Amino acid sequence: MYIVLGVSGSISAYKAADIANQLHKDGHDVHVVMTEGGTQFITPLTLQTLSKNKVHVGEFEEYDPTIVKHIDLAGHADVVLIAPATANVIGKIAGGIADDLLTAVTMAAANHAYVFIAPAMNTNMYENPIVQENLEKLRGLGYQIIEPKEAMLACGTVGRGALADVEEIVRIVETVGGIEQL
């Protein structure tokens, strides 16, 4: 299965390494797209090493003029998994904004690929009515939301907003919606 793994700017971005590694070990072709914020928490080199594919960062860096990268990545995708998904990325997708590579790939893939969004943020942000409304809108459009868990958060408080466990994310991606591990 061709999986685009989106990594946005959350402290939970370090867990994307385990997600990429496990999906690759399970035989999937993992292509990582990072937001600039995501690169502040984990390096592209780490994810490239584990996914065995070039990591794409930045808005629209084009290396081959015959290929439009966001359309090419989206066109191949069976699955787009955004883990972690920040309130910012969730809001952009819910609002139809595609102003960076990750949101553009997601928008271009959503009509034919499964899209999984795994939120990770502070409890107050996660429980904000705007974020909840955005998640409900995305659910209504067929996006799959992988619910965050309650845990001790980076800010020191305990609450809902921690990225779901890596094993749970991988299991859901490989089985939800009739997807069988290839």
Token pair, residue 168, equals: 């749970």
pLDDT number for residue 179: 52
Cβ neighbours for 65, distance < 8 A, ≥ 6 positions apart: none
Token pair 């619910």: residue = 147
Whole-angstrom distance, CA of residue 179 vs CA of residue 97 = 28
Nearest Cα to 141, choosing from 182, 76, 93, 105? Answer: 93
pLDDT number for residue 177: 45
Token pair 């034919």: residue = 112
pLDDT number for residue 62: 62
pLDDT number for residue 70: 83
Could you tell me if 153 and 161 are in contact, meaning their C-beta atoms sit under 8 angstroms apart? yes
pLDDT number for residue 59: 66
Token pair, residue 103, equals: 């949101």
| CATH top-level class of 2-178 | alpha beta
Whole-angstrom distance, CA of residue 113 vs CA of residue 149 = 25
Tell me the whole-structure pTM to 2 decimals.
0.93
Mean pLDDT of the chain: 91
Collapsed DSSP state (helix, strand, coil) of residue 82: strand
The one catalytic residue in 152, 155, 176, 182 is 155
Phi-psi region of 161 (alpha: psi -120 to 50; beta: other; left: phi over 0): left
Identify the segments of the chain with pLDDT beneath 50: 177-178, 181-182
Token pair 């997708």: residue = 93
pLDDT number for residue 109: 95
Residues 110, 19, 180, 146, CA torsion sign:
negative
Q: Quick check: is 155 catalytic?
A: yes
